[in-house]
Chains A and B, each alone.
Chain A
Amino acid sequence: MKKVMRWSGEMNVLQTIVTHPLLALVFRLYLGGLFVYAAMYKINFTAEFASTIASYQIVPYFAVNSMAVFLPWMELLCGLMLIVGLRARAATLIIGGLLVLFTVAIVVTLLRDLPISCGCFHTVDDPISWWTVARDLTWVAMAAHVYCFDRLFQLDQLFFQKLKDVEA
């Protein structure tokens, strides 16, 4: 009985830690910074990113350049929104969606055994592997955590609080 009670107590602590908004904040800031960093390279080297996209052989050729132009800005915007906490949920959903997309692309590429690099951060010295998949999945989990539990230090909250004051 004592063991069971101690176990349930430990589970409660664990649950508290896992669902803590502070952890979500950490994840949010990390993901935001990650995507801003990733976007900076892609924005500056659009042609190289386009060839990276093309190397995955998933996007049709007429859309490769467009994707190479717009996707990094989306990543940058979402990353910044995550960092400042503005419309964080929407940004988290987009980033999560992108990560899922990237993960699927990497899995497909691995299964195809294409000798390409990830292209996430650099063109070279970043060959894809199942670790890449694991890494992306971890980021997806982080994004999910942020979506579920993040509520601290959001820019929305400033206005949100004022909304509450106005409503009161």
Chain B
Amino acid sequence: MNGNSFRPPSGTGGGENTSSGQELEKKLFHLKTLYEVTRELSGLIEVKPILDTFLPLSMGSLGATTGFLILDMEEETPRCEVAARGVNASLEQALCGSAGQLSDKIFDSMHAVPTAEMFRVFRGKHLSREPLLPPDTQLLIAFPVGTSARGMLGLGPRIDQHPYAEEDQELEIGLVRTLVTVLQNGLAHEEIRKMGQRLAERNAELRTSLEKMEATRQELDQRAFHLQQLYDTSVELSGLIETAPIMDTFLLLVLGAFAVQNGFLLVYDKAKDEPDVVVRGMDATNATTLSNPETRSTVMELFVSLKDRIPHIMESRWITDPELLERIPCPVTAAVLFTIDEECRGVLGLGLQLKDGAFSKDDHELMSLLLSHFMVSLDNARHFEAAQRLNKDLERRNAELEATLKDLTTARGEIDVLQSAKDRILGLVQSEKERAGKAVWLDFLLILVVSVVLGLLFNMASPGGISLVPRALFVTPPDIIALERATSLHKSGQAVFIDARPPEFFEQGHVPGAVNIPLALFDFVYDMKLSQTDPSTPLVVYGRTFSQHYDSEVAHKLELLGHDSVFLLESGLEGWDEKSHAVER
């Protein structure tokens, strides 16, 4: 469907007087209509009322029986407003649905932005064939409203059934132009309203965000404060290793952190007889009261009263029940029970607050954190004290051990000496035991030596002692007479033959005529037989054995007695016998 582009009338004047009078009346009518429409529409800023107000005016100005006015708005959410007169409800609803399609169809391109000058006017009965339009539409004016809306005014047949003329079209166009202006204002208002609404919403959001920010800031401030308190507590407590300074420092920190005027800290350790008490801002009687055994019982009862809420190791619990707080002997507004381990528990009592209001949840949280630090530090201090005690004990034991070790070392040395002595003795015993059972060369040697010594001593001391070596070895032996000469002397009887052997040997055999003068009986037999003999008489002595040189001994004795010629018989009796000389038996 092609529409003619509309150009506003250039205001051509002239014509016949009648026609000019009619023209003037028409123009006046048009102007009045415009004025009326403008007047009716002024003050309206809502789209629907504008449409609802304009449509009847527009219809009324031309006497249309039916009419519709569509405004298709392409906003963030597409919206369509419809005003209709003389159209049934279903058609009215369908118009809204087909508004977009219709406006796309009317305007050349969906993508072209319709300008304010681009009105599309369609006039004629052929419009009834358009399926998107109500069936009796005879005049259709499509108009853009700004850049975001497109409107369509459709008029049905006139009352007088006359078709719409050019001037009717112009009138409507003028009216529509007014409508457009009002609609633009309305849309602008609406836009502004929406903007204002959005602004208000944004403001509300901003306010909410600001409030949240403020709350977050406050929370951050509080967190920072908590962290600062924790840091301060850590710094203060980290350098301390003794219980009393830790407790004192902590109580001071807590009173400052929570803006409390006075308070106390009480710790019960089973390893100690007395509790550890620190008091600030309270008089001395309170400290004394807190140290009493009754207070200990009271505090333990408080622990028990918590039942399943009793603080476990390294935990703390606030006492919120006023009845329980009243049991504490000192006036307190709050108390916190804490447990370090099975043997160490305590209570922190807080007195009058310097600020109004009860302790908040954040205060509870902060207290819990601070107490955790405190409990760790106190536990370390307890362990340190225990370690010191153990060290002292250890030092004492070490000293004792060293002394014992020294004694043991000395004893060990003695034992080693005794052990080696014992081993030696046992070895000696063993060897002696073995030796005792058998005869050893030492025995023989000992016996021999003792025998020799005793023999020598007795021989020397005894008057009957003999020389160990035969004397004959040291004296000059007598001359030896040859056998032949001795034989001749024997035959001539010039010599006396002396047998120096013992009588038993003499009786066995001797030189005939020989005199037996045994060495053992020399003195006796000499006196008997040779004392009267001439000393110059040759004496031939014989008689020697392997074991005894009787002849040498007797010959020596004879010489000592003054005999000059004493001879030893060469080769003795054996030689005499071999010479087959006679031997008396």
Chain A residues engaging chain B, CB cutoff 8 angstroms:
43-48, 50-51, 53-62, 64-66, 68-74, 76-78, 81, 87, 89-94, 114-116, 156, 159-160, 163-164, 166-167
**In the docked arrangement, what's the CA distance between A69 and B457, Å?**
10
- Determine if A74 and B547 form an interchain contact, defined as CB atoms under 8 angstroms apart: no
Asked if B4 is at the interface (CB within 8 A of a chain A CB), the reply is no
Question: Contacts A50-B466, A90-B439, A164-B433: A73 and B455 contacting too (C-beta < 8 A)?
Answer: yes
- Determine if A69 and B468 form an interchain contact, defined as CB atoms under 8 angstroms apart: yes
Minimal Cβ-Cβ distance residue in B for A53: B547
Question: Contacts A54-B545, A160-B433, A167-B433: A70 and B451 contacting too (C-beta < 8 A)?
Answer: yes
- Determine if B429 and A51 form an interchain contact, defined as CB atoms under 8 angstroms apart: no
- Determine if A60 and B455 form an interchain contact, defined as CB atoms under 8 angstroms apart: no
Asked if B470 is at the interface (CB within 8 A of a chain A CB), the reply is yes
- Determine if B447 and A77 form an interchain contact, defined as CB atoms under 8 angstroms apart: yes
- Determine if A73 and B547 form an interchain contact, defined as CB atoms under 8 angstroms apart: no
Question: Contacts A57-B547, A65-B467, A116-B504: A77 and B433 contacting too (C-beta < 8 A)?
Answer: no
Name the interface residues of B469-516: CB closer than 8 Å to any CB of A: 469-470, 473, 502, 504-505, 507-508
Asked if B401 is at the interface (CB within 8 A of a chain A CB), the reply is no
Residue from B429, B451, B464 in contact with A163 in the complex, judged by beta carbons closer than 8 Å: B429
Give 19 CB contacts A-B under 8 Å.
A46-B465, A46-B466, A53-B547, A54-B547, A61-B545, A61-B549, A64-B470, A65-B469, A66-B469, A69-B468, A73-B450, A73-B451, A73-B452, A74-B447, A91-B443, A94-B444, A115-B504, A115-B507, A166-B425
Minimal Cβ-Cβ distance residue in B for A56: B547
Q: Could you say which residues of chain A place their CB within 8 Å of the CB of B450?
A: 73, 77
Q: Could you say which residues of chain A place their CB within 8 Å of the CB of B459?
A: 46, 69
Asked if B426 is at the interface (CB within 8 A of a chain A CB), the reply is yes
Q: Nearest Cβ in chain A — how far from B429, in angstroms?
A: 5
Q: How many Cβ-Cβ contacts under 8 Å join chain A to chain B?
A: 125
Q: Nearest Cβ in chain B — how far from A50, in angstroms?
A: 6
- Determine if B429 and A166 form an interchain contact, defined as CB atoms under 8 angstroms apart: yes
- Determine if A62 and B469 form an interchain contact, defined as CB atoms under 8 angstroms apart: yes
Listed residue (A57, A70, A92) with the most chain B CB atoms within 10 angstroms of its CB? A70
Minimal Cβ-Cβ distance residue in B for A156: B436
Minimal Cβ-Cβ distance residue in A for B448: A74
**In the docked arrangement, what's the CA distance between A116 and B501, Å?**
12
- Determine if B454 and A89 form an interchain contact, defined as CB atoms under 8 angstroms apart: no
**In the docked arrangement, what's the CA distance between A13 and B549, Å?**
57
- Determine if A61 and B470 form an interchain contact, defined as CB atoms under 8 angstroms apart: yes
Which 8 pairs across A and B sit closest by C-beta, in order of nearness? A90-B443, A54-B548, A115-B504, A90-B439, A74-B451, A54-B547, A89-B439, A73-B451
Q: Could you say which residues of chain B place their CB within 8 Å of the CB of A57?
A: 545-547
- Determine if A69 and B466 form an interchain contact, defined as CB atoms under 8 angstroms apart: yes
**In the docked arrangement, what's the CA distance between A60 and B549, Å?**
10
- Determine if B436 and A160 form an interchain contact, defined as CB atoms under 8 angstroms apart: yes
**In the docked arrangement, what's the CA distance between A167 and B422, Å?**
10
Asked if B399 is at the interface (CB within 8 A of a chain A CB), the reply is no
| Number of interface residues, chain B, beta carbon within 8 A | 44
- Determine if A58 and B436 form an interchain contact, defined as CB atoms under 8 angstroms apart: no
Q: Could you say which residues of chain A place their CB within 8 Å of the CB of B502?
A: 51, 55
Name the interface residues of B70-112: CB closer than 8 Å to any CB of A: none
**In the docked arrangement, what's the CA distance between A163 and B428, Å?**
9
Q: Nearest Cβ in chain B — how far from A146, in angstroms?
A: 12
- Determine if B546 and A58 form an interchain contact, defined as CB atoms under 8 angstroms apart: yes
**In the docked arrangement, what's the CA distance between A94 and B548, Å?**
26
- Determine if B451 and A60 form an interchain contact, defined as CB atoms under 8 angstroms apart: no
Question: Contacts A54-B548, A55-B502, A62-B473: A69 and B455 contacting too (C-beta < 8 A)?
Answer: yes
Residue from A43, A46, A74, A93 in contact with B439 in the complex, judged by beta carbons closer than 8 Å: A93
Q: Could you say which residues of chain B place their CB within 8 Å of the CB of A94?
A: 444, 447
Q: Could you say which residues of chain B place their CB within 8 Å of the CB of A76?
A: 454
**In the docked arrangement, what's the CA distance between A81 and B447, Å?**
10
**In the docked arrangement, what's the CA distance between A127 and B113, Å?**
184
Asked if B456 is at the interface (CB within 8 A of a chain A CB), the reply is yes
- Determine if A163 and B433 form an interchain contact, defined as CB atoms under 8 angstroms apart: yes
**In the docked arrangement, what's the CA distance between A159 and B456, Å?**
31
Minimal Cβ-Cβ distance residue in A for B544: A61
Q: Could you say which residues of chain A place their CB within 8 Å of the CB of B455?
A: 69-70, 72-73
**In the docked arrangement, what's the CA distance between A68 and B425, Å?**
42
- Determine if B436 and A61 form an interchain contact, defined as CB atoms under 8 angstroms apart: no
**In the docked arrangement, what's the CA distance between A50 and B448, Å?**
19
Asked if B430 is at the interface (CB within 8 A of a chain A CB), the reply is yes
**In the docked arrangement, what's the CA distance between A55 and B395, Å?**
94
Q: Could you say which residues of chain B place their CB within 8 Å of the CB of A163?
A: 429, 432-433, 436
Q: Nearest Cβ in chain A — how far from B102, in angstroms?
A: 138
**In the docked arrangement, what's the CA distance between A58 and B547, Å?**
6
Name the interface residues of B40-87: CB closer than 8 Å to any CB of A: none
**In the docked arrangement, what's the CA distance between A164 and B433, Å?**
8
Asked if B561 is at the interface (CB within 8 A of a chain A CB), the reply is no
**In the docked arrangement, what's the CA distance between A57 and B548, Å?**
8
Q: Could you say which residues of chain B place their CB within 8 Å of the CB of A160?
A: 433, 436
Listed residue (A72, A115, A156) with the most chain B CB atoms within 10 angstroms of its CB? A115
Q: Could you say which residues of chain B place their CB within 8 Å of the CB of A58?
A: 546-547
Q: Could you say which residues of chain A place their CB within 8 Å of the CB of B433?
A: 160, 163-164, 167
Minimal Cβ-Cβ distance residue in A for B450: A77
- Determine if A62 and B464 form an interchain contact, defined as CB atoms under 8 angstroms apart: no
Asked if B438 is at the interface (CB within 8 A of a chain A CB), the reply is yes
Listed residue (B426, B439, B448) with the most chain A CB atoms within 10 angstroms of its CB? B439
Q: Could you say which residues of chain B place their CB within 8 Å of the CB of A156?
A: 436
Q: Nearest Cβ in chain B — how far from A153, in angstroms?
A: 15
Question: Contacts A115-B505, A159-B436: A78 and B547 contacting too (C-beta < 8 A)?
Answer: no
Residue from B448, B458, B468, B519 in contact with A66 in the complex, judged by beta carbons closer than 8 Å: B468
- Determine if A167 and B430 form an interchain contact, defined as CB atoms under 8 angstroms apart: yes
Q: Nearest Cβ in chain B — how far from A118, in angstroms?
A: 13
Q: Could you say which residues of chain B place their CB within 8 Å of the CB of A50?
A: 466
